[in-house]
Structure formats: structure tokens, C-alpha cells
Amino acid sequence: MNCWEFFCRIRRSVWFVFFDTYIGRLTQILLLDKRKGAMTVAKVYVFDHPLIQHKLTYIRDKHTGTKEFRELVDEVATLMAFEITRDMTLEDITIETPVSETKSKVLSGKKLGIIPILRAGIGMVDGVLKLIPAAKVGHIGLYRDPETLLPVEYYVKLPSDVEEREFIVVDPMLATGGSAIAAIHSLKSRGAKHIKFMCLIAAPEGVAAVEQAHPDVDIYIAALDEKLNEHGYIVPGLGDAGDRLFGTK
């Protein structure tokens, strides 16, 4: 399924909204799903900021070496996190400047947690932490069962206050959606109620799968690619993100 087929397929049941923000142009897709008599809204944000797209070009390039690849993934994660956190809650406090007393704003509400899906998701963590250094980091490890092809959870380590945090699950690629769906389910089963998913590149098939499984989770994407090939790789994609991040094959 290519991007055009994906949009044509869902156009009958979704509402498209296009708008500009200070981080650049975003395409917001509001996916409406009626369940249990209520309407659940999942939002998919596709970034079009020039810096993100410029860096993504070199991330995709097969000639980009491991060091530069890591640095670029880190930089794009920071740029994306800037927009993803725009809805964080603020409260007024009173402070004293060197000149006078004044009211100003600080963050309040739920604290943030970052959850990389092992192993490639690790490459995006530092980029988010540069923006929010106080965020806690958990880890979810998954592998694909060779017989069922379903994701199997082999490692989970989360902050102790899961129910009190808003989580950003990070993984460079959203291909079939299996790992993202399993990681989000793992968080929810442990009490998490506020979750966002962030990736660099997604296939339409993966977006549709996550939306169907978790319609309450917003999805943030640097680029929505054409399709999956017969091997489950995103086309044109960037290859195996984990191998390129860690210099393995």
C-alpha cells in the first residue's frame, strides 16, 4: 500500500486538517473511531520543517557513516520533541528579577517519561533529554518470534510512578506497527494512561495498525513513506536503523 492508497482508503472515515506552527508545517490527520458509543480521536502529525527534512535526507543516504547517522538521529529527535511537548501544562508563579517582582510560568502537571523500544529507540533518547533533561527513561525490549512473527517482550524497566507520567515511546521506524503496538500495550497494562508515539519514518500500514490498536495514542512522524516491501522494510526508508546506529549487520 502506498501513501496515496492509504489516504484514499481512510479518507472516507477521517477528517484532514492542515495547519502551520512555529516548528514548521504539520499535517494533522484526525482519525475518528466510534467505540463503545463514544468517539475516540487519534491524531497523526507529519512534520515538514525544513531542518528536519534536510537532516532526514542524510539519515536516509546509504553513504552516511555511523557517527554522522547517530548525530543526525539525535538532532531530529530534539527538533521533533520541541513540537511534541507544546501541550505541556504551565502554571503561574511569582519571581523576582534584578529589577522587580513579576509573574512568570513554569511547567506543571504530569511529568514526562521517555520509553525507547530496544534497540534502535535508544538512538533517539538523548535528543529528547537535551530538551527535557529531568525526564525519566524506561526501556522496553521486543523481538519477533520466528514462527508467529509476533513481537515477544523480553525486557521491561519503567519508572516506579507509571500512572503519574505522560510517556513518549520512541523508535526510529514504524513499519508493520507490531513493536509499537506491543510497547504501548505493555505501558497501558502497567497503568500508563497518557502516551504518545514518535518515529522518524513510517509506512502507511504501520500507522493504520497502531491507530486501530490504540486510537487514543497520538503519532508523530518526520516522514510518511510509500509502502512496505515484501521483506517488511519501509520503502524508500533508511534501511535497518539499529544496524546503522550501532555499526552492526
Task: Please identify which of the residues 87, 148, 161, 216 carries the catalytic annotation.
Answer: 148
| Positive or negative: CA dihedral 225, 71, 67, 220 | negative
| Known binding residues for 5-phospho-alpha-D-ribose 1-diphosphate | 119, 144, 171-179, 240
Catalytic status, residue 126: no
**CA 148/CA 1 separation, integer angstroms:** 22
Q: Please identify which of the residues 60, 144, 145, 190 carries the catalytic annotation.
A: 144
Among 87, 161, 243, 248, the one annotated catalytic: 243
Cα–Cα distance for residue pair 57/92, rounded to 1 Å: 41
E-strand ranges in 55-193 read 90-96, 101-107, 111-118, 136-137, 139-144, 151-157, 165-170, 173-174
Catalytic: which of 33, 126, 216, 240? 240
Query: Is the bond preceding residue 236 a cis peptide, omega within 30 degrees?
Result: yes
Can 225 be counted among the known catalytic residues? no
First to last CA, the chain: 28
- How many angstroms from the chain centroid is the CA of residue 101? 40
The whole-angstrom separation of Cα 35 and Cα 14 is 15
Q: Catalytic: 33?
A: no
* CB-based contacts of 139, cutoff 8 Å, min separation 6: 115, 116, 118, 155, 156, 157
E strand residue ranges, 5-58: 14-21, 24-35, 38-47
CB 33 within 8 A of CB 39: yes
Binding-site residue positions? 119, 144, 171-179, 234, 239-241
- The annotated binding site for uracil is made up of 234, 239-241
| 243 catalytically annotated | yes
Provide the annotated active-site residues.
144, 148, 240, 243
